[in-house]
Chains A and B, each alone.
Chain A
């Protein structure tokens, strides 16, 4: 059955359309005027304004390695993060700390620690699984490079990005 669509009954002002044009212009120019006075909230101007101060505490940026206040790399090379990493972005080559060393009791340290940032999915499982509080997803989010090799973060790069983190549980202190 065919529907009979009822058309709205337009008033004369609506039929000649010009008042609607003026009403529309009022809205358009109102937006323009508000913008020109700087009253409109616009998007963040990225390179000048950064996200940094707006990021929440739980933000998951690039994974980094941290040192404790004694300057020791907290990682003991247990390789749990390597095993849990879903995209298998982490590669660790363990090394042994010689017995006479200041941190000799820790026994292991990562000789090599690579994270392929092209594979990393920022899931944070490495941070969650780490028994030593050695790897943290911090707030670096702008990772750029002109070659793939530049996004292969090695141990030095990860430690440099991580910096020193204090206030964590230092369970090796007594055994040093």
Chain B
């Protein structure tokens, strides 16, 4: 094992390999646990927030005893049970999906039909590996793989997710999944471009392609979209360039956010599914656990996307007033966990934004979608790069 690692990474100190191994393993398992719980509760939040927006109550029955909050400790609380009940819903959903009949239609291409759901969720989970989800705990960076090509890795892996959809649609051997898959492929390919191009300005400003470096830049100089929010420098650096640079960052934030909606197949860009037009889209022929994997993959992709936006634009784990943890002491340890908490709070806030947008905007027509992607966002992102370059080069 050591020999393999030495071969892969010759600069590594052989003595630190066991430490590296077990910390990476612990981080992976920890992050996976957090994310999978978050996924199941994102599904619940989606249903609940959707219904609250539509003046309904949503699933409020499958509760832990928590739904008895009405008279906890004998104090007369406001009756929260219509709001808080139903927290056991994800468990009930999982049990239901597990116990359903696993039905594989006779006309499908079996091999691809079986690997497609795994590809979708796999791609979404793997791209979480490079995201710095916390500062440091006991001197260990809270990122599973601190590699120098962070965003490229995310784009490369998350575009593999389209294979899950394409294979599902093609192997289902039936018309609606196929149409869904074709739409999805063209959509993802179109928006991948503006997604990739829109983050280039950030890395031009920072000068490095490492997400951890990007985050430490934001800690020192303020969040990307809100410069000046920092503990180190409570005031803005007064140069003209530092103000002007906000413009391209805002443009790239908007383009990136919208492209991320398209990448995760969320409304208003959910054409691959388009319930009203395509029955269920690419997963029409799937049932039981395979359907659940698609479903979870979609929500994991949402979480990955939100984490990526939070890392790039919203200062990742940094919050003004909360110092960086990581010192080998109790306070440092606690601060490290607080930093992780801040990161996930931001991610959750963004997920709620995802959900709110879902009930705000109607689905785009297909030609509008293509026009938006190719004629507007691609050009805007491209021009934005030049704008950033000009500001960086000529405005002090």
Q: Which residues of B contact A25 (CB under 8 A)?
A: 356-357, 360
Question: Chain A 37-49, CB within 8 Å of chain B: the 1/0 string?
Answer: 0101011010000
- Chain B residues 170 to 226 lying within 8 A of chain A, measured CB to CB, are none
Least CB separation from A18: chain B residue: B254
Report the minimal beta-carbon distance from A44 to chain B, rounded to whole angstroms: 11
Report the minimal beta-carbon distance from B59 to chain A, rounded to whole angstroms: 13
A31 engages B55 (CB within 8 Å): yes
**A35's contact among B52, B357, B360, by CB below 8 Å, is which?**
B52
Query: What's the tally of chain A residues with a CB closer than 8 Å to chain B?
Result: 16
| Bound CA span A18–B255, Å | 11
Q: Which residues of A contact B356 (CB under 8 A)?
A: 25, 28-29, 32
| Bound CA span A43–B54, Å | 12
Q: Which residues of B contact A38 (CB under 8 A)?
A: 78
A21 engages B361 (CB within 8 Å): yes
Least CB separation from A27: chain B residue: B360
Q: Which residues of B contact A35 (CB under 8 A)?
A: 52-53, 55
Q: Does B56 contact A (CB under 8 A)?
A: yes
A40 engages B55 (CB within 8 Å): yes
A28 engages B55 (CB within 8 Å): no
Q: Does A36 contact B (CB under 8 A)?
A: yes
Q: Does B241 contact A (CB under 8 A)?
A: no
Least CB separation from A16: chain B residue: B376
Q: Which residues of A contact B359 (CB under 8 A)?
A: 28
Known: A29-B356, A32-B356. A42 touches B55 (CB 8 A): yes
Q: Does B341 contact A (CB under 8 A)?
A: no
Least CB separation from B51: chain A residue: A35
Report the minimal beta-carbon distance from A56 to chain B, rounded to whole angstroms: 26
B360 engages A24 (CB within 8 Å): yes
- Chain B residues 283 to 301 lying within 8 A of chain A, measured CB to CB, are none
B361 engages A32 (CB within 8 Å): no
- Chain A residues 126 to 142 lying within 8 A of chain B, measured CB to CB, are none
Report the minimal beta-carbon distance from A32 to chain B, rounded to whole angstroms: 5
**B83's contact among A29, A36, A45, by CB below 8 Å, is which?**
A36
A32 engages B53 (CB within 8 Å): yes
Q: Can you give 29 contacting A-B residue pairs, CB < 8 Å?
A: A18-B254, A21-B357, A21-B360, A24-B360, A25-B356, A25-B357, A25-B360, A27-B360, A28-B359, A29-B53, A29-B356, A31-B54, A31-B55, A32-B49, A32-B52, A32-B53, A32-B356, A35-B52, A35-B53, A35-B55, A36-B52, A38-B78, A40-B55, A42-B55, A42-B56, A42-B57, A43-B57, A45-B57, A45-B82
Interface residues, chain B, with chain A CB atoms under 8 Å away:
49, 52-57, 78, 82-83, 254, 356-357, 359-361
The list of the 3 closest CB pairs from A to B, nearest first, reads A24-B360, A35-B52, A28-B360
